Structure 1
Amino acid sequence: MSFFKTLARDDQGATAIEYGLIAALIAVAAITAMTNLGSTLSGTFSNVDASMAPGTTA
């Protein structure tokens, strides 16, 4: 019976789960930000490519 009382008071597993959830949230936010940034950069480079005249060099 004391084993179950000790097990109920132990919160080390909860801390690990909390850290895992925080890491997952940060990963989702980073993936979302990088996806949006990638789309924006792709559009920017497409606009630059379309604006440049063929055969010209910088």
Structure 2
Amino acid sequence: FSQVKSIFALGFYGIMTVPPTLAVMNVFWFWKICRGLVRTLSKMKMHTANGKTD
């Protein structure tokens, strides 16, 4: 417990801010990847519905 008390201020704020920031960034990039995947699959679906197979 004494080691936890001796943490310096920058380390404490880093522990409190970095993980939530990384989590938000991961959600953002996951959303962008999923949105691009849906767009790509919908384009492929449109092309196959029109009879194009390329």
TM category, shorter: 0.5 to 0.7
Shift of 1:50: 1.2
Q: What TM-score does the superposition give when structure 2 sets the normalisation length?
A: 0.67
Unaligned runs of 5+ in 1: none
Q: What TM-score does the superposition give when structure 1 sets the normalisation length?
A: 0.64
RMSD: 2.6
Unaligned runs of 5+ in 2: none
Report the count of equivalent residues: 50
Using CA pairs under 8 Å that are at least 6 residues apart, name the structure with larger relative contact order, 1 or 2: 2
For 2:8, the equivalent position in structure 1 comes to: 10
